[in-house]
Structure 1
Amino acid sequence: MKKNIGATDKLIRSAIGIIITILYYSGIINGILAIVLLAFAIILLLTSFINFCPLYALLGINTNKKT
């Protein structure tokens, strides 16, 4: 897997994932929406940790300036 997520993209993904997780555990969001957003947050955090987004690969997007 070639890294296709840059530093800014990684920071934004991590921040959004953490915010959604905090909203879920504090009880601000609940129900089906909470489950969907939590799954989305997990995906964002996972892709930011491995620096690879499969959707970016399919669309030919690369925000990593080092490659």
Structure 2
Amino acid sequence: MHSADRVIRIVLALVIGALYVTGQISGAAALILGLIALIFLVTGFVGTCPLYRALGISTRKAAT
């Protein structure tokens, strides 16, 4: 995963967390978005995405 992809995932997870803490999201939306945020955090810090691998997607820059 490219570093920009990792940063975007982590920032999105933090935004979702902030929305939950401030009460902007609740109920089923909070649960679904919370799960997505957790996945984004884990994949962002680990640096790999199982879905990308399964689909053959790479956001890394090509070696020159």
Which one scores higher on RCO, CA 8 angstroms, separation ≥ 6? 1
Which TM-score applies when normalising by structure 1?
A: 0.87
Unmatched runs of 5 consecutive residues or more in structure 2? none
- 1:11 is aligned to 2:7: yes
Q: Distance in 2 between matches of 1:33 and 1:56?
A: 25
Which TM-score applies when normalising by structure 2?
A: 0.91
Aligned residues: 63
User: Which residue identity does 1:19 align to in structure 2?
Assistant: V
- RMSD in angstroms over aligned alpha carbons? 1.3
- 1:58 is aligned to 2:51: no
Runs of 4+ in 1 over 2 A off after TM superposition: none
Unmatched runs of 5 consecutive residues or more in structure 1? none
Q: Distance in 2 between matches of 1:48 and 1:30?
A: 24
Q: Distance in 2 between matches of 1:50 and 1:13?
A: 11
Q: Structure 1 residue 15: deviation in Å?
A: 0.9
- 1:27 is aligned to 2:27: no
